[in-house]
Amino acid sequence: LETLETTMRDENPNSWEARANTNSMYGFTDLPTIEKRGATIITHGDGPYVFDVHGKKYLDGNSGLWNMVAGFNHKGLVEAAKAQYDRFPGYHSFFGRMSDQTVMLSEKLIEVSPFDNGKVFYTNSGSEANDTLVKMLWFMNKAEGNPQKRKIITRINGYHGVTAVSASMTAKPYNEVFGLPLEGFIHIDCPHYWRFGKTGESEAEFTLRMAKNLEDTIISEGPETIAALVAEPVMGAGGVIPPSKGYFQAIQPILKKYNIALIADEVICGFGRTGPVWGCQAYDFEPDAIISSKNLTAGYFPMGAVILGPNLSDKIQAAAESVEEFPHGFTASGHPVGCAIALKAINVILNEGLIENVRLLTPKFEAGLAELAKNPNIGEARSKGLMGALEAVKDKDTKTPFGPEANVSEKIANTCSDFGLICRPLGQAIVLCPAFIMTDAQMEEMFDKLTKALNKVFAEVS
């Protein structure tokens, strides 16, 4: 164990690492590891690389938290922010007032959305966008005389955020420590065929079973009590889990039959991560609304958005008119600097070669993952576009995972970090979601470093 953890913490109480531990809290961090290794304090970035306080360079195989798709020093994005700070550095979207940048961003979002028409509501994060969406549905259904139509369905391993409502949607066991989920949040099957398919069950049969279980749940809960099913096109923080074949085609008619909205949480998938602009386009389904964040500003500003298709936007508008207003909003909703950055980010992704590079890099990414999947301790390599994962297993034939005490994915990520590569452990998987600006050479560097780390860790633990 000790030999793996070569980056040891700096004991000097004035070190950046010690200072970080004294007054800052980490989110989602394995604290015993930090106690041992020390934090990594980042000062700046260059393209897809970041640098720590000691000058060590890391290739960030996770593009920050999936979001820094244009890299860490994109001149156009920084210039757009500076120009808007000079012009008008802050405003809100309350009381019938909003910035010109906000108006233009909403027009652009509807233009690039799969919807012919619709409306956009802005938040500061993806979590708040999911909260906002749920409140909108509660508000709308109550105004329409259906106050009982409140339940929200999400899938096990789905990640939708951390606020009380969005954490209730996030179907991960760690939320039990908060006494969540709240009442009325229902978690159904995870459509991961490799892990949850039964012996002898074909992928098509698995998909049908997922759809049947959904319909059974709807019937037993009461269709009139269910407002929406919210789903990531590809589950991201659940460990990059693409749906089983035909999944959305199987569930969408069931939701339509019972008048249940289908919401695509595109916080990760949106703006090119899976190849097309939206993940729902990659899987050919038609959501009633889209939740966006992360790539929306290429990570250069905290912003989320609920993008309502025409049906929901008309109904929510009517509900708001019936009580005079939609009593909801954040101080920084539609912040002009965030909107100016988002307008630039959308242009950079769609028109300055980034989304094209996702398409060009995807075969190389898939080939790199497939090569690593030959390792006897990798049970599955899975990906869509530039999001992928490798699932570590103790026994490939039986798909038996390593025990939690082995801490394998954490060790792989730590060893990668020693080699100058940032990647993320998620359960037993290692997740990669490189920036859209990566070159072929940087992609090779990513896989070389990961290969070295996997070989080292599996040699130790097997």
- Residue ranges binding ligand PLP (CB under 6 A): 125-127, 130, 159-161, 232, 236-237, 265, 267-268, 293, 304
Which helix (H) or strand (E) element contains residue 108?
A: helix 100-112
Give the residue with the Cβ less far from ligand PLP, 125 or 377.
125
Give the residue with the Cβ less far from ligand PLP, 163 or 415.
163
Closest-by-Cβ residue to ligand PLP is 126
From residue 418, alpha-carbon distances to 40, 105, 411 in Å are: 11, 41, 10
Give the residue with the Cβ less far from ligand PLP, 250 or 269.
269
Give the residue with the Cβ less far from ligand PLP, 159 or 447.
159
Q: Which long-range contacts (CB under 8 A, 24 or more apart) does 9-17 make?
A: 9/34, 9/35, 9/36, 9/37, 9/38, 10/38, 16/41, 16/53, 17/41
Q: How far apart are CA 190 and CA 183, in angstroms?
A: 20
Give the residue with the Cβ less far from ligand PLP, 160 or 456.
160
User: Shortest distance, CB of residue 423 to ligand PLP, whole angstroms?
Assistant: 16
From residue 219, alpha-carbon distances to 103, 213, 250 in Å are: 42, 10, 16
From residue 25, alpha-carbon distances to 51, 425, 454 in Å are: 21, 20, 30
Which helix (H) or strand (E) element contains residue 461?
A: helix 440-461
CB 74, CB 298: distance < 8 Å = yes
Q: How far apart are CA 290 and CA 112, in angstroms?
A: 12
Note the residue count of the chain: 462
Give the residue with the Cβ less far from ligand PLP, 130 or 244.
130
Q: How far apart are CA 359 and CA 57, in angstroms?
A: 27
- For residue 84 the two structure tokens come to 């808007």
CB 87, CB 76: distance < 8 Å = no
User: Shortest distance, CB of residue 58 to ligand PLP, whole angstroms?
Assistant: 20
User: Shortest distance, CB of residue 427 to ligand PLP, whole angstroms?
Assistant: 15
CB 52, CB 43: distance < 8 Å = yes
Give the residue with the Cβ less far from ligand PLP, 236 or 272.
236
User: Shortest distance, CB of residue 458 to ligand PLP, whole angstroms?
Assistant: 28
Residue 208: name the closest of 251, 256, 259, 264 by CA.
251
User: Shortest distance, CB of residue 165 to ligand PLP, whole angstroms?
Assistant: 11
Give the residue with the Cβ less far from ligand PLP, 28 or 95.
28
- For residue 238 the two structure tokens come to 């659940």
User: Shortest distance, CB of residue 455 to ligand PLP, whole angstroms?
Assistant: 30
User: Shortest distance, CB of residue 461 to ligand PLP, whole angstroms?
Assistant: 29
User: Shortest distance, CB of residue 161 to ligand PLP, whole angstroms?
Assistant: 4
User: Shortest distance, CB of residue 172 to ligand PLP, whole angstroms?
Assistant: 12
User: Shortest distance, CB of residue 248 to ligand PLP, whole angstroms?
Assistant: 16
Sign of CA dihedral 346, 349, 268, 114: positive
Give the residue with the Cβ less far from ligand PLP, 127 or 141.
127
Give the residue with the Cβ less far from ligand PLP, 164 or 208.
164
From residue 315, alpha-carbon distances to 150, 288, 325, 460 in Å are: 16, 12, 13, 59
